[in-house]
Amino acid sequence: MQKLVIGIDPGLNHTGWGLIKTEGSQIKYVSSGTINTKSTESLPDRIHFIYQSLKEVIIEYSPDYFAIEETFVNKNPQSSMKLGYARAAAILAATNSQIPIYEYSAKYVKKAIVGSGNADKNQIAFMLKTLLPGAKPASEDEADALAVAISHSNTRL
């Protein structure tokens, strides 16, 4: 049975999303994108834009599972709060659509994709090309979101 997984790499400036289709151990690229907010807009408007944009993706593709990267604590508490706002907007879009939500640490995602929790962006990009030959993520945020989706597929499905 096919399942559609959406992965999210949250950020207030750039939120990446990536969709994969799974059937057994097979995974296929479906789509991906980046939601870019304008720093000149108010915080509530930016949060609403992330929510609304993800809601549209969810309506268009009807994913079965929602996987999101957990918040890591930055040295700058303001940055952590902004990341938390973006995560909340994304999670709200999923809960309003009644999609089961799964959260993964960045270290866990790296280990699931590359085999090492200390993998760098180049290693992630190489594995994405190997695992999803049709994917051509336009940003690191999209690539990270696809990695989150693959992590969920590898561990939960």
Spatial neighbors of 23 by CB under 8 A, at least 6 apart, are: 1, 2, 3
The CATH number of the domain holding residue 119 is: 3.30.420.10
pLDDT, tens digit (0-9, with 9 covering 90-100), for 52-64: 999 999 999 999 9
Specify the 3-state DSSP secondary structure of 4: strand
What does the alpha-carbon distance between residue 94 and residue 6 come to, in Å, rounded to a whole number?
10
Res 157: pLDDT: 61
pLDDT, tens digit (0-9, with 9 covering 90-100), for 53-106: 999 999 999 999 999 999 776 678 888 888 899 999 999 999 999 999 999 999
CB 17 within 8 A of CB 137: no
pLDDT, tens digit (0-9, with 9 covering 90-100), for 26-50: 999 999 999 999 999 999 999 999 9
Res 73: pLDDT: 66
Boundaries of domain holding 16: 3-156
Take residue 42 and report the two structure tokens written for it: 């108010």
**Residues carrying an active site annotation:** 9, 69, 141
Res 59: pLDDT: 97
pTM score? 0.94
Res 97: pLDDT: 94
Distances in Å between the Cα of 67 and the Cα atoms of 5, 19, 44, 109 are 7, 10, 24, 11
User: What's the half-sphere exposure (Cβ side, CA atoms, 13 Å) at 68?
Assistant: 23
Structural domain total, the chain: 1
Specify the 3-state DSSP secondary structure of 127: helix
Mean pLDDT of 116-125: 84
